[in-house]
Structure 1
Amino acid sequence: MRQRQLGALRVGEIGLGAMSFGGMFGATDEEASLRTLDAAQEAGITMIDTANVYGLGVSETVIGRWGRAATVATKCGIVSGPPRSIDNSEPYIRACLEESLRRLKRDHVELYYMHRHDPKVPIEEVAGTMARLIEEGKIGGYGLSEIAPYTLRRAHAEHPVTAVQNEYSLWTRQPELGLLQTCRELGVAFVAFSPLGRGMFGEHAPTRADFRSGVDFRHTNPRFVEPNFAANIAAIEPFRAFCRDRGWTVSGTALAWVLAQGDHIIPIPGTRTAEHLRDWLDVHPSAEDLAEIGRILPAGFAWGDRYGDHQSMAVERYC
């Protein structure tokens, strides 16, 4: 697998998002997650992305039990509750990091994200906390998630940011309106989460029956409720046909499109199974193919917002 820059490190151009190891999108088990991690390593994926809230520590625990060498990124800042809240204070960040390191069975992580920015805490204070953790050898670099370009600029001026992690895919294009450009300008990696549209760009179109009521994020997400859901399935079907006609996997083609949007972009798709992971690899569209994909799925084609009001706490919107 080709590599891309993540701060001072070189990592595989595709990372592995480990949110699903915590059961967020359906039942899984430790053995299946361990097989997925093995398959990722065999494919040349070297960065594993997790968070303390994924399964309330389950995802980090699985990665810790796996125990193989990898570039590990984790996050803090979301307080699960109830009620759910955001905490960007230094004591909370430090306490969460120690808990994550214990679960991961590590004395440091290569990348530590602020999962959400609390607007009541100046981002310069967050950057200062992260800078001290870097100086202490606890983390290799820090990142920010779901932020706007102006927040990145302020944090980066205080202490260089390693990575920004925001949603980006064929159906979520907001980062094109300034954030991708700002990351490139500042030399910051852009880590694209949900690059497969939370399962919409899998090999088979999802159905509402696939979503677990009360647990699965998609159950109440605007893009996955009717009438939006049916409209989105229909809009993506011509893209599926395009992939089938070329003998390409749908997920591999969607990832190839994301990768083609900039060499500073690292997508982190997630999966619960090693078999699905193999679908991501070995799709190499031409410039003409990419242009056709853009015609089939133009910016703004998706029906519904990417978050409902109940899901958008501390998500920075700038357009």
Structure 2
Amino acid sequence: MRKVGLGQSGIQVSRLGFGCMGLAEFYGDAVSNNEAESLLEAALERGINFFDTADMYGAGKNEEQLSGFMKKHRKDVVLATKFAFQRGENGEFAGMSNDPKYIKEAVDASLKRLGIDVIDLYYMHRRDRNVPVEDSVGAMADLVKAGKVRALGLSEVSAETLRKANDVHPISALQSEYSIVTREMEDEIIPACRALNVAFVAYSPLGRGLLTGAYRKESDFGSGDYRMMGNPRFSDGALEKNVSLVDQLTDIAKDKDASLAQIALAWVIAKGDDIIPIPGTKKLHRLEENIGALNVNLTDTDIEAIEKAIPQEAVAGARYPESRSSTLYA
């Protein structure tokens, strides 16, 4: 597994990371702590050292799922977590905060759940427009000075916010959704990252499973899967339209002796070493399939064919419901 630099942090991460969210919530039932640890061990054994979680995933459960794994392998793992979304006692969403006082409380809570002394990469999960980003990043910078955090990141912010934040303290990574079906960050955000030497961490590089070809109809989703709870790309007829787009990649996948998922990941990987995809899974064979994408070499002609097969404007449905879109590009 090749390593690449994480922006201006000096930290080296695996070319492919692992998104841990689905182990605890959102994509059907959570897995047990033992099952989670087993899968994380398998990822590490195969060369993945970059693991991504957040305090809101499972209302803290996801961080707790990583604690045993982190205790065994702390020196070998680059761990990213996030703050901003708040959850109530019963897991209900209770707002969002970028308040400096809250940030300092949130990092201590995450450190306790994870059972570690320092977080490698600490993200602002979403920006609260009511709090100056300079104040929030200033509080995050204090965590670096205190030795609780090694590097800082932002998620789903605008290029303007990134520049303002970077003026306060070096930002090492910006995380946003990026895949063949979500490409709008190519216009301003990725160029801004490159100008500032900020790594771009791509979450949902498989389009929340859409690009795997495994989800073709409602019955393919398990109970409690949030994609079936009003996600615009999977509801109101959008799923059928988007599946027909994904099917256009079948011949390309066959030609490369690869799966649809591997073509989707190889496309992201081909966009540059400063773009690090973090697909997640609950299954070992999917983990191995994802890693196999590193062996799929796409030519410029292949990339052109992929993008022609799935034009951005042809994708049906927004990536988030309207109620959550206000937190994007803030």
TM over 0.5: yes
1:13-54 deviations in Å (ceiling 9; x for gaps): 111000011132012222322222122112211100000011
Q: Report SS of the residue matched to 2:5.
A: strand
1:224-274 deviations in Å (ceiling 9; x for gaps): 002111100111111134213431022121111011112210111111112
Q: CA deviation at 1:299?
A: 2.7
Measure the CA separation in 2 of the matches of 1:277 and 1:37.
10
Measure the CA separation in 2 of the matches of 1:38 and 1:194.
21
Q: Report SS of the residue matched to 2:211.
A: coil
Gaps of 5+ in 2: none
Query: What does residue range 1-319 of structure 1 map to in structure 2 within 5 Å?
Result: 1-6=1-6, 7-27=9-29, 28-67=31-70, 68=73, 69-81=76-88, 82=92, 84-212=94-222, 216-280=226-290, 281=292, 282-316=295-329
Structure 1 length as normaliser, TM-score?
0.95
Measure the CA separation in 1 of the matches of 2:48 and 2:284.
12
Q: CA deviation at 1:298?
A: 2.3
Sequence identity (%): 36
Is the CA contact 2:227–2:234 (under 8 Å) kept in the aligned structure 1?
no
1:28-84 deviations in Å (ceiling 9; x for gaps): 222322222122112211100000011111111111111223000000001124454
Is the CA contact 1:35–1:273 (under 8 Å) kept in the aligned structure 2?
no
Q: CA deviation at 1:219?
A: 2.5
Is the CA contact 1:199–1:206 (under 8 Å) kept in the aligned structure 2?
no
Measure the CA separation in 2 of the matches of 1:93 and 1:189.
23
User: How many pairs does the alignment contain?
Assistant: 317
- The amino acid that maps onto 2:14 is G
Measure the CA separation in 2 of the matches of 1:80 and 1:218.
21
CA RMSD after TM alignment: 1.6
1:102-155 deviations in Å (ceiling 9; x for gaps): 111100110000101000100001110111100111000111111110000100
Q: Report SS of the residue matched to 1:129.
A: helix
